[in-house]
Amino acid sequence: MLIKRPRYQTIAENQVTDESVYQNRRQVLKQLGFIGAGALLSPGQSLAFNLFGDDPPGFKTHALSYAKQENDNQTLTPLNKVTSHNNFYEFGTDKADPKANAQAFKVDPWQLQVDGLVENPFSLSLDELYKIAPLEERIYRLRCVEAWSMVIPWIGFPLRALLQKAKPLSSGKYVAFETLYDPKQMPGQASVFRGGGIDYPYVEGLRMDEAAHPLTLLAVGLYGKSLPAQNGAPIRLVVPWKYGFKSIKSLVRIRITDKQPPTTWNLLAPNEYGFYANVNPKVDHPRWSQARERRITTGGLFASNRIDTLPFNGYEEVASLYSGMDLGRSY
Ligand SMILES: Nc1nc2c(c(=O)[nH]1)N[C@H]1C(S)=C(S)[C@@H](COP(=O)(O)O)O[C@H]1N2
Ligand SMILES: [Mo]
């Protein structure tokens, strides 16, 4: 299934499947009709934004601006690695399990329920979700707490567009997310052993200002196509400045709450995984260093580069969300 992309032309099949196409950022952006290279903001330039106002001018290309850094941060992780090295414990705990076990995963029909402290609760089908906002391509780094990382060209729309539609009440301070619970389809949910001891459904949460930040994405595709099951089909969260476990997959519910919601990895090991989980090279995991990471890159199946981890995974424009907080301890 090819996703609908109302804002720009469909790119040809042979271009989509060849990730080398993505390595020339400007060429791709032109193909997708985004720019005008002049619209790019420089890395680290801060964005002022209103929680529910319009996106700042030029925003759509902002996340991509990092891709031009002359270092390892620009090279896309090849599609075959993005789709065969996964964490999706509902389908098993080994990196190859999700691809092996999720192929029959049924994502159509699908409903995403949005409720809680909102003026306008709703439930949307996939087709309706695709129309919430124009789909955009966003090239983001994904930094797993296990100290490996990828660079992935997502297709999606900002979570803030969905929130705007739901109209959160002023009492709504947090956003709670929930993955599908369906042990018949998800072997990890049917067995404590295969599911890594998680009490399913997998749940996550963000503070409202994090959720409404323009970088926070609901992804429905990658590499120009709809999401593979193992990457969280049909719709998943992507929060690029936080450790990967915050980017919850296969969403069925988004609920606005007044209290900080429980989150799966924090419930499992509160001393190892915090609620905020912002990427921070200075705060080590209790059992390993977070100073560097293994970037999964082009080359052979096991090719990777060891590189320094950046604060907020390089998305430093979010730092102001945490001013006054002791990030060293809020991990
Ligand atoms: N429902 C659910 N979401 C999840 C996970 C999971 O096990 N279940 N794993 C998380 C972790 S630890 C990471 S690193 C990313 C991995 O995303 P990817 O497989 O698309 O690279 O998904 C996150 N979202
Ligand atoms: Mo992760």
SS (HEC) of 77-114? CCHHHHCCCCCCHHHCCCCCHHHHHCCCCCCCCCEEEE
Distance between CA atoms of residues 279 and 247, nearest Å: 13
pLDDT of residue 258: 98
Q: What is the pLDDT of residue 63?
A: 38
Ligand 1 centroid distance, CA of 202 (Å):
10
Query: What is the residue with the minimal CA distance to atom 21 of ligand 1?
Result: 86
Q: Which residue's alpha carbon is nearest to atom 7 within ligand 1?
A: 88
Query: In this structure, are residues 5 and 11 in contact, taking their beta carbons and an 8 Å threshold?
Result: no
Per-residue pLDDT of the chain (331 residues; tens, 9 = 90+): 344 333 322 333 333 333 443 433 333 333 333 333 223 333 332 223 334 444 433 333 333 333 333 344 678 999 999 999 999 999 999 999 999 999 999 999 999 999 999 999 999 999 999 999 999 999 999 999 999 999 999 999 999 999 999 999 999 999 999 999 999 999 999 999 899 999 999 999 999 999 999 999 999 999 999 999 999 999 999 999 999 999 999 999 999 999 999 999 999 999 999 999 999 999 999 999 999 999 998 777 667 789 999 999 999 999 999 998 987 766 6
The predicted structure's pLDDT at residue 301: 66
Query: Which atom of ligand 1 lies at the shortest distance from residue 243's CA?
Result: 14
Query: Is 220 in a helix, a strand, or coil?
Result: strand
The Cα–Cα gap between 2 and 226 comes to 6
Looking at the domain assignment, is residue 123 inside a domain? yes
Specify the residue with its C-alpha closest to ligand 1, atom 5.
88
Give the integer Cα–Cα distance in Å for 313 and 145.
11
Question: Is 198's C-beta closer than 6 angstroms to any atom of ligand 1?
Answer: no
**Residue 244 Cβ contacting ligand 1 at under 6 Å:** yes
300 is a domain residue? yes
Model-level pTM greater than 0.85? Answer: no
Whether 33 is in a domain gets the answer yes
pLDDT at 304: 75
Which ligand does the CA of 89 lie closest to? 1
Say how many Å lie between the CA of residue 86 and the centre of ligand 1: 7
CA–centroid distance for 256 within its chain = 19
Whether 258 maps to a domain, the answer reads: yes
pLDDT at 244: 98
Quote the ligand 1 centre to 98 CA distance (angstroms): 10
User: Coil, strand or helix: which one is 187?
Assistant: helix
Domain that holds residue 65: 13-329
Q: d(Cα 97, Cα 26) in Å, to the nearest integer?
A: 35
Q: Ligand 1 atom closest to Cα of 232?
A: 20
The count of domains in the chain is 1
Looking at residue 9, its pLDDT comes to 29
In a domain, 3, yes or no: no
**What per-residue confidence (pLDDT) applies to 303?**
72
Whether residue 5 lies inside any domain: the answer is no
Question: Does 2 fall in a domain?
Answer: no
Q: What is the pLDDT of residue 158?
A: 97
Structure tokens at 82: 């993005």
Q: Is 86 in the pocket of ligand 1 (CB under 6 A)?
A: yes
Determine the distance separating the centroid of ligand 1 and the alpha carbon of 7, expressed in angstroms: 29
Question: How is residue 63 written in tokens?
Answer: 């996340």
Identify the pLDDT of residue 104: 96
Residue 4 lies in a domain: no
Ligand 1 near 263 CB (within 6 A): no
- The per-residue pLDDT for 152 is 96
Residue keyed to tokens 């049909």: 234
CATH of the domain at 58: 3.90.420.10
**251 φ/ψ sector (left φ>0, alpha ψ -120 to 50, else beta):** beta
Residue whose CA lies nearest to ligand 1 atom number 1: 249
Tokens for 154, please give them: 């997502």
Write out 140-209 in H/E/C secondary structure.
EEEECCCCEEEEEEEEEEEHHHHHHHHCECCCCCEEEEEECCCCCCCHHHHCCCCCCCCCCCCEEEEEHH
